[in-house]
Amino acid sequence: MRDLAEIQALTAQHVMNTYNRLPIALVRGEGVRVWDTEGRPYLDFIGGIGVNSLGHGHPAVLAAIRDALGYVLHTSNQFYIEPQARLAERLTGLSGLGKVFFCNSGTEANEAAIKLVRRWGRQDGRNRYKIIAAQKSFHGRTLGSLAATGQPKYHEGFEPLPGGFVYVPFNDLDALKAAIDEETVAVMLEPVQGESGVYPADLGYLRAVRELCDAHGLLLILDEVQAGLGRTGRLFAFEHYGIRPDVLTLAKALGSGIPIGAMLARDEVAQAFAPGAHGTTFGGNPFACRVALAVLDTIVGQDLPKAAAGAGEHLRWALEDLGRRRGWVREVRGLGLMVGVELEGVTAPRVQAEAQARGLLVNAIGSSILRLLPPLIVSREELDEAVGILEAAMEAASAV
């Protein structure tokens, strides 16, 4: 096995420089812990940015991978795919939505959603194509989902982006109402804005947006790429709000490490797609779908959303208690095990580095926010261990 310095040199020489990487290379994982090339262990509270829902090396995932190796790995969507059909049946049954399109990632799921609602908006001679999105949102990096992302810093250098997107402040119903016109087809929101710092939608806001969409004949797209499948303490984040979207996007946790994305829609909306309107080579292949079925069955069968709700409550309380006792914590927000920590008196990148040195991996967002996305299987003991490390990391960061 190559050491870290060799891996860094090889990466610098041959891999495009599109990421700011932490100075470690992870090579093994078990449960909530990972190990680097030097054999050092870490509590993983990044979780592949919300991907490793079942942690590392989960028996159900490994068994599904082994089982899938004895089945055809790929056929293309020119043929019927039994695991794909079974996974679609499971997702539609759990979500209450009618049809699924499978792809490989969250950004592809959002691209599919954008294309679907625009095609729906052009039926019967109509010309409805505009999508209202939120400021500080993040929907992906392909051109369509990037255009839907309400953060100008991600747009720089890629203009002109596809048009037809209008951005309004998150949790501001009046601004959203004012943005609707005769060409509007949909509203696209994250129930919890993850990438910008973990900001949940207000309870009344999402309910009112649903009512507004119904009143104006608009579609509601909810991007649950990061928040979906148990992360927030419910299987789907929209369940917290007592509503159901017209279109739903999922990815990350669905494969627990195997790339897969899904775009779900009501039957009446899904019919806007016909053969040739959209497609993908790898989306919904037998391997990814067999693994995703095992992941979904484990999340539902072990009631991991309920576990995440309890664990998240414990984690937020412990972080708020840390703030009361020691300072450094201005606010703790989130749902379930999707947690944002707003810092004061210390910088997030410095705390991230100090935590890493002590065996905890967390994600710094900008200069003042830490994002915590531990696996849904995390124990109370591991949560307490992580908060203890964060306290030591914040103390060290404050002394710099």
- What are the catalytic residues? 138, 223, 252
Task: Tell me how far apart the alpha carbons of residues 277 and 116 are, in angstroms, rounded to a whole number.
Answer: 9
Q: Which 8-state DSSP code applies to residue 358?
A: T
Q: Which 8-state DSSP code applies to residue 195?
A: T
**Cβ atoms 166, 148 nearer than 8 A:** no
**Cβ atoms 147, 110 nearer than 8 A:** no
Whether the CA torsion 76, 82, 83, 89 is positive or negative: it is positive
**Tally: H helices and E strands in the chain:** 14, 17
**Cβ atoms 111, 117 nearer than 8 A:** no
Vertex 213, ends 209 and 219: CA angle to 5°?
115
Could you tell me if residue 41 is left (phi over 0), alpha (psi between -120 and 50 degrees) or otherwise beta? beta
Task: Count the residues in the chain.
Answer: 400
Task: Tell me how far apart the alpha carbons of residues 132 and 383 are, in angstroms, rounded to a whole number.
Answer: 38
